[in-house]
Structure 1
Amino acid sequence: MGQKSLIYAFVSRGTVVLAEYTEFSGNFNTIAFQCLQKLPSSNNKFTYNCDSHTFNFLVDNGFTYCVVADETAGRQVPIAFLERVKDDFVSKYGASDKAGANAAANSLNKEFGPKLKEHMQYCIDHPEEISKLAKVQNQVSEVKGVMMENIEKVHTDALRDFLRQAQDFRTSGTKIRRKMWLQNMKMKLIVLAILIVLILVIVLSVCHGFKCGK
């Protein structure tokens, strides 16, 4: 395969290895499997260093893609390898139980093991292309991050404006209710005063002034 930069790779569903490939001997597969058992289940990328090697993992929708590399390979080439393997694997098997069924029949390793070898060789033979691709992907990720940050900021500003308007509405509502209450009380007092005056007029008319009872 050429230089010893990418050493061992596998694809697993959970902790069950479905396909693997290596041309080298060593305990890296044992260490990789131990790391696999401790990986979080959330979709993400993880890298561990041990004995001048990096153990790189890509977790995606229940499947884990791993490559063990020499530290001199850096990080871009192993991650690019994992992305290529993931895309190839998903295009062939999807994220269904078909891969698990194939593994039970012991056929997936025969089918996809050679593909791991092909992707390893390609990444080793085209490091400059991989680096350029990784740079573009990083730029895309940065742009996406800025866009998401801007969208989040717009949503936050919109929510802040909505809350402010809601507060203003509540304040205005309180003032309006207080004003209506005062107007209502004023009207009641006016009606009460009119009733008192009418009662007094009626009493005075019936009693001819204040002579009632005399």
Structure 2
Amino acid sequence: MGQQSLIYSFVARGTVILAEYTEFTGNFTSIASQCLQKLPASNNKFTYNCDGHTFNYLVDDGFTNGLYFVQPAYCVVAVESVGRQVPIAFLERVKDDFTKKYGGGKAATAVANSLNKEFGPKIKDQMQYCVDHPEEINKLAKVKAQVSEVKGVMMENIEKVLDRGEKIELLVDKTENLRSQAQDFKTQGTKVRRKMWLQNMKIKLIVLGIILALILVIVLSICHGFNCH
């Protein structure tokens, strides 16, 4: 990845650019500023293509700073061939740095370009890091994307079940049926064991009765009836 892969970056509050950094000149700064004013509210990540370059935006969820609600927006202009993962990863890193430094500070009231001296070097450092470590950035971005995708699928599956009350009821009914079947099986098992025990006792009593009868017959035959002496 060459030095020119990330061209220009800024941090804004609303449409007010607070800090920016670039080593190049051109009309990309005004184009990026114009796009910032027309970002849709449907998502927090956007990429626009223009003449072999991409204008990548990340809009933060925002944070409260005293009486003010601050919603920063981050932008980086990149060479289109670098793809989306490196620019978005760069914006995430800049966002983390900006939130740590200004989350409870002057981001809410700072005027245009007033944070250039303080935060411009940090933008430069992150830009250089992403340019120098593209493989690491791409790898981390892919892992993060896979985790997000898995979370999305899991949540979607749960929502599908919740949206269909019939299915939830069926699941509950099935569970209750399984419990009922288990209880019936346990009851039937107890009945079978009791029945087998009774049958065994009957057999034992019958055998005992036969043995006693045989003993009685033998005794009577020896004693010629009940006249034994």
Unaligned runs of 5+ in 2: 63-70, 171-229
Query: Which amino acid letter does the alignment assign opposite residue 49 of structure 2?
Result: N
Q: Give the Cα–Cα distance (whole angstroms) in 2 for the partners of residues 99 and 123 of structure 1.
A: 25
Does residue 1:83 correspond to 2:92, yes or no? yes
After alignment, is 57-66 or 119-128 more displaced?
Answer: 57-66
Q: Give the Cα–Cα distance (whole angstroms) in 2 for the partners of residues 116 and 12 of structure 1.
A: 13
TM-score, normalised to structure 1, is 0.69
Q: Give the Cα–Cα distance (whole angstroms) in 2 for the partners of residues 133 and 12 of structure 1.
A: 26
Query: Which amino acid letter does the alignment assign opposite residue 68 of structure 1?
Result: V
Q: Give the Cα–Cα distance (whole angstroms) in 1 for the partners of residues 50 and 113 of structure 2.
A: 30
Does residue 1:132 correspond to 2:143, yes or no? no
Does residue 1:99 correspond to 2:103, yes or no? no
Query: Which amino acid letter does the alignment assign opposite residue 121 of structure 1?
Result: Q
Q: Give the Cα–Cα distance (whole angstroms) in 2 for the partners of residues 56 and 123 of structure 1.
A: 15
CA drift at 1:160: 3.1
Assess if the C-alpha contact under 8 Å between 1:42 and 1:59 holds in 2: no
After alignment, is 40-49 or 57-66 more displaced?
Answer: 40-49
CA drift at 1:43: 4.7
Q: Give the Cα–Cα distance (whole angstroms) in 2 for the partners of residues 91 and 124 of structure 1.
A: 23
Assess if the C-alpha contact under 8 Å between 1:18 and 1:100 holds in 2: no
Structure 2 match to 1:160: 166
Once the two structures are aligned, what percentage of the paired residues are identical?
A: 74
Does residue 1:6 correspond to 2:15, yes or no? no
Q: Give the Cα–Cα distance (whole angstroms) in 2 for the partners of residues 142 and 83 of structure 1.
A: 18
Q: Secondary structure at the match of 1:17?
A: strand
TM-score, normalised to structure 2, is 0.65
Deviations 1:146-200 (A, max 9, x none): 111122123224x335789xxxxxxxxxxxxxxxxxxxxxxxxxxxxxxxxxxxx
**Gap change, CA 1:50 and 1:162, over 3 Å in 2:** closer
Q: Secondary structure at the match of 1:38?
A: coil
Query: Which amino acid letter does the alignment assign opposite residue 126 of structure 1?
Result: H
Q: Give the Cα–Cα distance (whole angstroms) in 2 for the partners of residues 106 and 78 of structure 1.
A: 22
Query: Which amino acid letter does the alignment assign opposite residue 98 of structure 2?
Result: F
Q: How many residues are paired up?
A: 161
Assess if the C-alpha contact under 8 Å between 2:16 and 2:112 holds in 1: no
Structure 2 match to 1:74: 83
Please report the RMSD computed on the Cα atoms of aligned residues, expressed in angstroms.
2.2
Assess if the C-alpha contact under 8 Å between 2:19 and 2:113 holds in 1: no
CA drift at 1:26: 0.8
Work out which of the residue numbers 147, 150, 154 in structure 1 matches 2:154.
147
Structure showing greater Rg: 2
CA drift at 1:107: 4.1
Unaligned runs of 5+ in 1: 165-214
Structure 1 match to 2:73: 64
Query: Which amino acid letter does the alignment assign opposite residue 153 of structure 2?
Result: V
Assess if the C-alpha contact under 8 Å between 2:161 and 2:168 holds in 1: no
Q: Give the Cα–Cα distance (whole angstroms) in 2 for the partners of residues 65 and 105 of structure 1.
A: 14
Q: Give the Cα–Cα distance (whole angstroms) in 1 for the partners of residues 43 and 159 of structure 2.
A: 22
**Gap change, CA 1:42 and 1:31, over 3 Å in 2:** same
Structure 1 match to 2:125: 118
**Gap change, CA 1:135 and 1:152, over 3 Å in 2:** same
Q: Give the Cα–Cα distance (whole angstroms) in 2 for the partners of residues 99 and 66 of structure 1.
A: 16
